[in-house]
Every structure is written in C-alpha cells, then in structure tokens.
A and B are shown apart, each in its own frame.
Chain A
C-alpha cells in the first residue's frame, strides 16, 4: 500500500497544456468515475484548478496505478506521451504527503500565500467524500493538510502583506484611514492600473469613486463600468476638497496637481487626511507635497518598493513554513508506520479480551455469591492486570514501527499468541 500523487502545475506545464487538460477534466464526476475504476486504487482525490491538475491516491500497487493514472491523463489531454511526460510529476509516500501539504499551504501557488487554494483543496476533498472515494488514509491525510495550512497561516506572516501594487495602495489607505467605509476616491486619467486600484478600493468599502479625464467620454466609460460618478476635468480643483484618496495616472507632461491646489483644498476640507497615489510616468503630482502635513503621497516607485519588501518577506516566511511542513510530514509518516502494526495490536487485544470473557463466564458460579460492588472490583482488577501486561509490548511495537523495524516483532507476536 502506497500513497502516490500524479500531477502538473504552472511550474511544470505551460499554459496551453494546462488549459487543454482542465477543459477536458471540467466534468469532474466523469473523471472521478474513471479514476475509481482503476482497480489498483483504494482511495482517491482529484484536484483541478486553473494552475494545477493533480490526482492523489492510496493504492495497492504503486507502479501499476501510476501507469494507469498516466494513461488516463494522456487520453484526456490529447497530447503526445512525450509532451505530457515532461510536464508530469509523480511523488510517492512522504514526498507525496509533502507536496499535498505545500499545495494546501499555498507554498506551491503561483502567487505564494494566496488564500484560494485551500478552499479548492477542501472542495476536492468534499467531492471525494461524496463519491465515497475517501477512506481512513485520505481522511487523515487531508485533515492533516488543513491543519498544516492553518498553522502556516497563523504561525507565519506569509499571506499578510500585499504583493500587488493596487492591493498595497489599499493597505496603505487602511493605515491612514482605518477602514475605508464612507471614504471617497478620485481617479484622474484612464489607465489599467488606475482602474484596478479603483476596483480594489471599491471592494474594500470605499463609498464613491469619481472619475475624471481630459477626454470626458473615457471617464464616463470607466464610471459606467464601475458604477462611479464623473466630474469634468476643468472642475478638478473643486473635486479635491471632497475626496480622501486620489489616484492619478494621466499622460500629462507636467504636474497637474501642485502645492497651491492642495493647500487650497486642505483649507476647504479642514485638513482632513488626503492620500495621493501618483502612478503616472512622468509624475502628475508635485513631489514637494510629500512633506505637506495631512497629505500622504506615494508614487509608483514607492508602491513598487513596498511590494518588493513584501515579496522578500514572503520568501523569508516561506522558509519558516517549510520547517512547519517538515515537522508535519515526519508526524504523518510516523502515524503511517504505526498504522501498520495497528491490526496486530487490535488482534492481540481481541484475543486477550476473549480470554477474559471466557474465564469470567467460567468463574460465574462462584462469582454469583459476590455482591455487585465486589464483582465489579474483580473485573477492574483483572482488566488492570491485563492492561499493565499489554502496555509495554504495545508501546514497544509502536516504537519499533516508527523506526520501520516492526515486521519481525509482528511475526513473533502473531506466532506466539496464535493470532492468525
């Protein structure tokens, strides 16, 4: 019995192969039926996202199951075996467990630390349970994977800091304003990055986004797309007094927001805090404003350097996460090894219990003379003697199994106690 994992992800397979496979695997239940049909497979889990396709299985015969699984993948992808061979990875036992833990903890994701993957793994597991393809092994394995993911999330800061420019902008806005509910934002100019940042602000609770552009129609279009308002570019100066966050990304050659405009706006807005994000190149906002009280100015390089720091932090945190995963893999493999002696221990206990039962029945004629309390005491005494006697061999067996050296002991116990 082995655990195997066959799959491909964004690192091993180019997009065109992944998408072919994921389209053909779209009908999850059909794929699942096929996996279950493979006779060498005992339990199975099938995970398919836009960045990865993986099959995790508990199998009777690893080599045979691998061949069948590969065949299945090949037939789905409609690609030559050579092409597919290059993209696939196959892990067995400890390394399969490690891979699953890394996937669930988002260490193997394209954007490391992103939170969606855990949900996708959970969905895959739920499907597996629904299809009755999950048993003792997968239950334990997946629950451990969820625990590992939780540990990684709480014990490291891997998913704490924003790693994109627009989410960094939102994070900074929260440092200034607390939460963004009831805040207004002004987007000057039309650009993909400005639009993305505006979307992020809206999803984080900003009340109203106002768009303005030299070409009014473009502002109108963006406002329609994002359910915002528009203001004419000539009224920019007045608009400054009612907004808390300004995102500027025009193609203007010079500054469109200068100190004088902001000073006037601050007077009108009674110095309420103002967060200006200048993502235009060349810059739209006079950098001298960076020193003005109650104004916080970030340009594209500033944001990018925060992102870079956060990425660095994620890489550091990933190392901590790997240590956690090492621990958990060891722990799981101990459990796995102990599992091998469990049937023997169960048999041994069963035999002893049947002996006790038989002897108690034999002793029944004279035990009848005892009152209930005394009879109970006798039973307690017998059980505790048996438990004490069994304790050392059972622990010893478990310890040996963790070292992978239990087989001779199992044989001896089976022979001496006539367990077969």
Chain B
C-alpha cells in the first residue's frame, strides 16, 4: 500500500510541477491555483504513504538515504503549502515543485527494497533525531531556494531588467522574509535534532559526541547557520549577503547529507 501511494504521489507531484510551469507560461493565476490543489493532494497521498510504510515495517520511515529523501520532499512540499497560505506567492511553486519531484524520483529508485535495518536504528530517539534534522534540512532547502530567487530578482532590478521574468518573482522583501522564517525555524529544528541525536549516540555508542566526519560536517553547517543568524540579527545584514550565505550553507549541508558517506569512513553511515 505504502509504495502504491508513493507512486500516486509521484504522479501528482509531476502534474503539479507541469501545472506550475504552465502557469508561468500562460501567466494565469487560475492555473497556479489548480496546481496548488494538485500539490496539496500529492502531499496528502505522500503523507498516507509514509504512514502506511511506518505501519507496514514497524519502524520509522526514515532509516536510509532514499527514505530520507522522500521524507524531505514531503516536508518541503508541506512547508511550501503553509507558505502558500500565508504569503500568497504562488510563483514559488514553480521553483519548489521541480525540487520536490527530483527528490521524490531519486527516492523512488530504491524505496521499495525492504532491506533489514541495523538494530541501532530502532528506537524513538533516533526517529526524533532524523525527523527533526530532515525537516530542518527541508527548511534550509527552501531558504536556499528563496535565496537564489532573491539574487535573481535583485540582479534583474539592479540591472534595469525589471520586466518579463522579474514579474513572475515575488518582491525582494517577501523573498527575504521567507528566507528568514525558514532559517530561524530550520536552525531551531536542526539544533533540537542534534541534541536528540547525541542522546541516541550516548545510548548506542556510549558517548554524546564521536567527532565522526558526519558529525563534524553537520557541526560546520550548524555554525554557518548560527553565524548567518548572528549577522542578520546582531549586525543587520539583509538581502543579498544573507542570500549568498544561505546558499553556501545549504551546499555544505548537502555535502554532509550525501558527500560524507562517499568520501569519508563514518560510523553514521545510514544516511
């Protein structure tokens, strides 16, 4: 059931992406509205698939890279839908839905395989740890996306090309606001996630912190996000610089997520 629902969600994600892109081409709000509903149903079906998987397997549905990608895709679309209600900037959907789709497709590659999972991944602390850090990552992904959009819009306005494509992007202030909300909540969740992880680490490895490459790399991302927040709130950085920083921080976070497993030997080799 879980994988059937996931496939349906995949198709719906694809349709909503087509809809959002079509809405840019024909420039009709109505098309974007329909796409939002399609995305909403994709999200609902995806939620069902995650719950089914949880019930079917008996452990939290975030124990490997593919499941995690599926979870992030789910979180990104959920968070986007919340923003949609709050900010009414539907155009963001055209940028979010392809990202969600790519993650969901990558996830689908090996999602059906039902590999036996290591015993240390059982338990509630690890589930909490993973879900918090992944939701945090989803928020950082959106922050990165709004950062990219900010840079594009800034460049268009600055270079006096504020027509055509620029019309489709939200205002600078809106993009900066979305970026800010995402990073603040993302940072909060990542911090909680790291704490939950260290409690779990104490249970399975005996100490809270092992200086494992994964942990170090996560710490670096955490420090960059902390720095970013400091610059924004204490120094008063806004706009372009923050946008750059949130893109850079996310690239490092991505490396933490997939790169570390490839280039380093890590005890944290599940995700």
Which residue of A154, A273, A302, A310 contacts B28 across the interface (Cβ within 8 Å)? Answer: A154
Q: Are A273 and B158 in contact (CB under 8 A)?
A: no
Q: Which A264-323 residues have a C-beta within 8 angstroms of B?
A: 267, 270-273, 290-291, 293-294, 296, 298, 302, 305-306, 309-310, 313
Kindly identify which residue among A172, A178, A272 contacts B174, using a CB–CB cutoff of 8 Å. A178
**Chain A's nearest CB lies how many Å from the CB of B186?**
22
Task: Report if B240 contacts A (CB, 8 A).
Answer: yes
A174 within 8 A of B: yes
Whether a CB of chain B sits under 8 angstroms from the CB of A418 is: no
Chain A residues contacting B167 (CB-CB under 8 Å) are 160
A271 in contact with B238 given A176-B173, A306-B163 (CB within 8 Å): yes
Nearest A residue to B239, CB-CB: A294
Alpha-carbon separation in the docked complex, A270 to B234 (Å): 10
Q: Are A302 and B240 in contact (CB under 8 A)?
A: no
Q: A157 to B157, Cβ gap below 8 A?
A: no
Beyond A154-B28, A157-B27, A293-B241, whether A172 also contacts B162 by CB under 8 A is: yes
Confirm or deny: B160 has a beta carbon within 8 angstroms of a beta carbon on chain A: yes
A34 sits at the interface (CB 8 A): no
Q: Please, which residues of chain B bring their CB within 8 A of the CB of A305? A: 160
A175:B166 contact, CB within 8 angstroms: yes
Most chain A CB neighbours (cut-off 10 Å) among B28, B153, B174, B238 = B238
With beta carbons under 8 angstroms apart, the residue of B27, B171, B239 that contacts A293 is B239
Contacts of A174 in B (CB 8 A): 171
State whether B170 touches A178 (Cβ < 8 A). Answer: yes
Bound together, the chains give a CA A267 to CA B28 distance in angstroms of 41
Question: Given that A175-B171, A273-B172, A273-B173 are known contacts, is A294 also in contact with B28, CB under 8 Å in the complex?
Answer: no
In the complex, what's the smallest C-beta–C-beta distance from B231 to chain A, in angstroms? 10
In the assembled complex, A22 has its CB within 8 A of some CB on chain B: no
Given A290-B158, A293-B241, A306-B163, A270:B236 Cβ within 8 A: yes
Residue B237 is within 8 A (CB to CB) of chain A in the complex: yes
With both chains docked as a complex, state the minimum distance between the C-beta of A302 and any C-beta of chain B, in angstroms.
5
A-B contact count (CB 8 A): 56
A293 and B172 contact, Cβ closer than 8 Å, known pairs A175-B153, A305-B160, A313-B163: no
Which residues of the other chain, A, contact B28 by a CB distance below 8 angstroms? 154
Which one of B160, B163, B174, B237 contacts A271 once the chains associate, using CB atoms below 8 Å? B237
Q: Which residue of A lies closest to B241 (CB)?
A: A293
Whether a CB of chain B sits under 8 angstroms from the CB of A409 is no
Contacts of A154 in B (CB 8 A): 28
The answer to whether A298 touches B163, judged by C-beta atoms less than 8 angstroms apart, is no
Closest to A168 in B: B162
The contact size tier of chain B is 20 to 34
Kindly provide the distance from the CB of B240 to the nearest chain A CB, expressed in whole angstroms: 5
Which among B157, B163, B172, B174 has the greatest number of chain A C-beta atoms within 10 A?
B163
Chain A positions 143-165 with a Cβ under 8 Å from a chain B Cβ: 154, 157, 160-161
Taking CB atoms and an 8 Å cut-off, the chain B residues in 160-202 that contact chain A are 160, 162-163, 166-167, 170-174
The answer to whether A306 and B162 touch across the interface, beta carbons within 8 angstroms, is yes
By beta carbon, the residue of chain B nearest A176 is B172
Asked whether B162 lies within 8 Å of A293 as measured between CB atoms, the reply is no
Least CB distance from B50 to A in Å reads 35
> In angstroms, how far is the closest chain A Cβ from the Cβ of B204?
46
Give the residues from 94 to 118 in chain B that come closer than 8 angstroms, CB to CB, to chain A: none
Q: Is the CB of A161 within 8 A of B163?
A: yes
Measured between beta carbons, the chain B residues less than 8 angstroms from A267 are: 236
How far does the alpha carbon of A33 sit from the alpha carbon of B162 in the complex, in Å? Answer: 52
The answer for the CA separation of A227 and B30 in the assembled complex, in Å, is 39
Kindly state whether residue A177 has any CB partner on chain B within 8 Å: yes
Instruction: Enumerate chain A residues within 8 angstroms of B160, measured Cβ to Cβ.
Output: 298, 302, 305-306
Q: Which residues of A contact B241 (CB under 8 A)?
A: 293
A177 with B163, Cβ < 8 A, contacts A271-B237, A271-B239, A294-B240 known: no
Q: Is B238's CB under 8 angstroms from A270's CB?
A: yes
Contact A175 B239 (CB under 8 A): no
Name the A residues within 8 Å of B27 (CB-CB): 157
| CB closest residue in chain A, given B28 | A154
CA gap between A294 and B170 in the complex, in Å:
16
Instruction: Pick from A176, A270, A271, A291: contact of B157, CB below 8 A.
Output: A176
Determine the residue in chain B with the shortest Cβ distance to A310: B163
Chain A residues, CB < 8 A from B240: 293-294
Q: A390-407: contact bitstring with B at CB < 8 Å (1 yes, 0 no)? A: 000000000000000000
The residue in chain B whose Cβ has the minimal distance to the Cβ of A294 is B239
Q: Complex Cα distance A189/B191, Å? A: 52
A272 touches B157 (CB 8 A): no
CB distance from A296 to the nearest CB of B (A): 6
Chain B window 203-243, contacts with chain A (Cβ cutoff 8 Å), 1 for yes, 0 for no: 00000000000000000000000000000000011111100
Q: How many angstroms between the C-alpha atoms of A157 and B236 in the bound complex?
A: 39
Minimum CB distance partner of B174 in chain A: A178
A302 to B156, CA, bound (A): 13
The chain B residue with its CB closest to the CB of A299 is B160
Nearest CB of A to B111, in Å: 40
A177 to B174, CA, bound (A): 7
How near does chain A come to B8, taking the closest CB pair, in angstroms? 33
**Distance from B95 Cβ to chain A, minimum over Cβ atoms (Å):** 17
Query: Which residues of the partner chain B approach A171 to less than 8 Å between Cβ atoms?
Result: 162
For the complex, give the distance between the alpha carbons of A124 and B253 in Å.
64
B157 contacts A172, C-beta separation under 8 Å: yes
* Interface residues, chain B, with chain A CB atoms under 8 Å away: 27-28, 153, 157-158, 160, 162-163, 166-167, 170-174, 236-241
Q: Can you list 15 A-B pairs, Cβ within 8 angstroms, ordered by A?
A: A161-B163, A174-B171, A175-B162, A175-B172, A176-B172, A176-B173, A177-B172, A270-B238, A271-B236, A271-B238, A291-B158, A294-B238, A298-B160, A306-B162, A309-B163
For the complex with contacts A271-B238, A306-B160, 14 further pairs of A-B residues with Cβ separation under 8 Å are A154-B28, A157-B27, A172-B157, A174-B171, A175-B171, A175-B172, A177-B171, A178-B171, A178-B173, A272-B238, A294-B239, A309-B163, A310-B163, A313-B163
Binding site for B on A (CB under 8 A): 154, 157, 160-161, 171-172, 174-178, 267, 270-273, 290-291, 293-294, 296, 298, 302, 305-306, 309-310, 313
Nearest 10 CB-CB pairings of A with B: A270-B236, A178-B171, A271-B238, A178-B173, A302-B160, A178-B174, A176-B172, A271-B236, A294-B239, A177-B173
